[in-house]
């Protein structure tokens, strides 16, 4: 569709139609007196019948057709692709549809760092407001009428290796957990997922399907944001480029940057907002010296235990890629549910050796990476340096999780399916020291980047926004996406990004004066 401005100036302009951006646009446009625009670099599929299968089919991720084509450096000397959704719906339109919330302590830690309104008791309202939980609608910590439908696979719908994973977890002494979003829960059970059959309930489906009919909401797709326009310390709009390469300006009273933890910092830097020396080295005039832009990159380090199976008929690339999860606490006991193991139904390529994968994941990360910027060109992606497991606390706990994962391959229902463990090479040793070395060399991303424009009080020199998402040094600019998280929650960030959109969207709609409206 592309850029098609219908008014001379918008009240609220949201950049990025991902999980947070769609939620904000939907919530703010509930006020018919606010003219809202939602800008997205990728395409928009307005009708269900026009939506490509890779976006509909939640049994597997969409890897190529709606991707930014990013590359990252997970550990020193390694590079790999970093999938991110370039489409209305953002990464929620291409991901695995895991609908975990994180631990209450995650959000209490955010609040303790000078961010009132983000403790567990505060964000629970946003989580409840966004969800329609089909399995636990009557519990006090779930919602039953939100835009994002959530359910869990019952045992009758489990593929064989997923059920075997749960059986093995029970045999290994892990408790059964019927609801991984129970604030007090832990153990193994079905994943909460925002999908219905194959249908992925993305932000585009959940939030925009009903909102896009509103006359005060414009969705401007195929529209790349080049930079923010800053005049006298105030953000007054954006410079965009449409699919034909034409550069245009969209003006607004309030600009909400929701392009994600990788693209939001890049847009800030191109706009002169970031570390002064970094910005000026790219030939950009410094507008606001903010050294925290692009720093504090937080994510979930993970590994894959690859298993060749005895029975090739087990592996069907048309099966749901994931259905179950095990959450538990490392032996040091300092951070509850800081470890996670998932069963991945298939691995490798169709036609190759029949394989599945077990994924040990570190859910509470101490280490931090960063983004790097080498060009003012809006089509030049930032560098992504995760630096996984450089912090010894991360390496030791992920190594513990790998060792626990290997126990699933050594006995019980799942082990009976396994012909051989093809990675890691067990002959190289499975002692703690061996596994820590493995983690420092081979750990990769859970694809949950966040923290790169973190929120915090103005006294924190690395904080970019305050607790309401307002930029500390540029008026009328709000950032609202995974980049403002001070740290990654102990969960896939899908639901937390929806929640951020819910919270800030409602604040803008109901407290306009706080946002200069």
Residue 4 confidence (pLDDT)? 52
Is it true that the peptide bond before 424 is cis, omega within 30 degrees of 0? yes
Residue 459, judged by CB atoms within 10 A of its CB (0-12, 13-18, 19+), counts as exposed
Give me the half-sphere count of Cα atoms (radius 13 Å) on the Cβ side of residue 260. Answer: 27
Query: Residue 83 is encoded by which pair of tokens?
Result: 């999938």
**Is 14 within 8 Å of 256 (Cβ atoms)?**
yes
Distant-in-sequence, close-in-space partners of 77: CB < 8 Å, separation ≥ 6: none
Residue 2 confidence (pLDDT)? 47
Q: Which of 488, 446, 484 is nearest to 74 (CA)?
A: 446
DSSP reduced 3-state for 202 = coil
CA distance 253 to 68: 29
Determine if residue 88 is left, alpha or beta; phi over 0 gives left, psi from -120 to 50 gives alpha, anything else beta: beta
Kind of pairing between the strands at 247-257 and 10-15: parallel
Residue 8 confidence (pLDDT)? 74
Query: Phi, psi at residue 304, to the nearest 5°?
Result: -125, 125
Distant-in-sequence, close-in-space partners of 304: CB < 8 Å, separation ≥ 6: 344, 347, 357, 358, 359, 423, 444
Residue 48 confidence (pLDDT)? 84
CA distance 379 to 168: 47
DSSP annotation of 364 reads S
User: pLDDT tens digits, the chain, 517 residues: what are they?
Assistant: 444 556 679 999 999 999 999 999 999 999 999 999 999 999 999 988 899 999 999 999 999 999 999 999 999 889 999 999 999 999 999 999 999 999 999 999 999 999 999 999 999 999 999 999 999 999 999 999 999 999 999 999 999 999 999 999 999 999 999 999 999 999 999 999 999 999 999 999 999 999 999 999 999 999 999 999 999 999 999 999 999 999 999 999 999 999 999 999 999 999 999 999 999 999 999 999 999 999 999 999 999 999 999 999 999 999 999 999 999 999 999 999 999 999 999 999 999 999 999 999 999 999 999 999 999 999 999 999 999 999 999 999 999 999 999 999 999 999 999 999 999 999 999 999 999 999 999 999 999 999 999 999 999 999 999 999 999 999 999 999 999 999 999 999 999 999 999 999 999 999 999 999 9
DSSP annotation of 204 reads I
Residue 137 confidence (pLDDT)? 96
Distant-in-sequence, close-in-space partners of 36: CB < 8 Å, separation ≥ 6: 10, 11, 12, 13, 14, 25, 28, 29, 216, 217, 218
Residue 47 confidence (pLDDT)? 87
**Is 339 within 8 Å of 362 (Cβ atoms)?**
yes
CA distance 506 to 487: 23
* Measured CA angle at 314 (ends 493, 157), to 5 deg: 55
**Is 332 within 8 Å of 278 (Cβ atoms)?**
no
| pTM for this prediction | 0.97
Residue 12 confidence (pLDDT)? 98
């Amino acid at each position: 569709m592309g850029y098609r401005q219908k008014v001379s100036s918008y009240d609220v302009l949201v950049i990025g139609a991902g999980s947070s951006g769609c939620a904000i646009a939907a919530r703010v446009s509930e006020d018919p007196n606010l003219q809202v625009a939602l800008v997205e670099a990728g395409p928009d599929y307005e009708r269900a019948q026009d939506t490509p299968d890779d976006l509909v089919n939640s049994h597997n991720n969409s890897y190529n057709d709606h991707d930014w084509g990013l590359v990252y450096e997970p550990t020193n000397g390694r590079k790999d692709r970093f999938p991110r959704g370039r489409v209305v719906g953002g990464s929620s339109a291409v991901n695995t549809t895991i609908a975990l919330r994180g631990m209450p302590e995650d959000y209490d830690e955010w609040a303790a760092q000078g961010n009132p309104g983000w403790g567990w008791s505060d964000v629970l309202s946003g989580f409840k407001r966004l969800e329609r939980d089909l399995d636990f609608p009557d519990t006090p910590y779930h919602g039953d009428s939100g835009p994002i439908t959530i359910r869990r696979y019952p045992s009758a719908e489990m593929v064989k290796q997923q059920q075997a994973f749960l059986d093995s977890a029970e045999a290994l002494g892990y408790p059964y957990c019927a609801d991984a979003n129970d604030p007090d829960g832990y153990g193994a059970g079905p994943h909460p997922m925002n999908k219905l059959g194959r249908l992925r309930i993305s932000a585009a489906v959940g939030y925009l399907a009903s909102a896009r009919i509103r006359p005060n909401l414009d969705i401007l797709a195929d529209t790349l944001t080049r930079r923010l326009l800053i005049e006298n310390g105030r953000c007054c709009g954006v410079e965009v480029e449409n699919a034909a390469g034409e550069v245009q300006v969209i003006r607004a009273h309030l600009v909400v940057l929701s392009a994600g933890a990788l693209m939001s910092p890049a847009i800030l830097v191109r706009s002169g907002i970031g570390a002064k020396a970094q910005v000026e080295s790219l030939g950009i005039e410094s507008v606001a010296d903010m050294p925290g832009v692009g720093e504090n990159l937080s994510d979930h380090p993970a590994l894959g235990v690859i298993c060749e199976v005895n029975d090739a008929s087990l592996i069907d690339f048309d099966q749901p890629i994931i259905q179950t999860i095990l959450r538990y606490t490392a032996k040091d006991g300092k951070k509850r549910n800081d470890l996670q193991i998932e069963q991945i139904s298939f691995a490798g390529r169709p036609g190759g050796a029949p394989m599945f994968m077990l994924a040990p994941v570190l859910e509470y990360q101490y280490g931090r990476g960063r983004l790097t910027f080498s060009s003012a060109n809006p089509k030049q992606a930032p560098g992504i340096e995760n630096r996984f497991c450089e912090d010894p606390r991360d390496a030791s706990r992920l190594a513990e999780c790998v060792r626990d994962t290997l126990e699933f391959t050594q006995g019980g229902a799942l082990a009976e399916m396994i012909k051989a463990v093809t990675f890691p090479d067990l002959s190289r040793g499975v002692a703690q020291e061996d596994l820590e070395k493995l983690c420092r060399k081979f750990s990769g991303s859970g694809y949950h980047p966040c923290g790169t424009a973190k929120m915090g009080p103005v006294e924190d020199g690395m904080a970019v926004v305050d607790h309401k998402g307002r930029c500390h040094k540029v008026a009328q600019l709000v950032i609202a996406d995974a980049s403002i998280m001070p740290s990654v929650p102990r969960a896939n960030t899908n639901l937390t990004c929806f929640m951020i959109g819910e919270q800030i969207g409602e604040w803008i709609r109901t407290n306009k004066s706080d946002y200069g409206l």
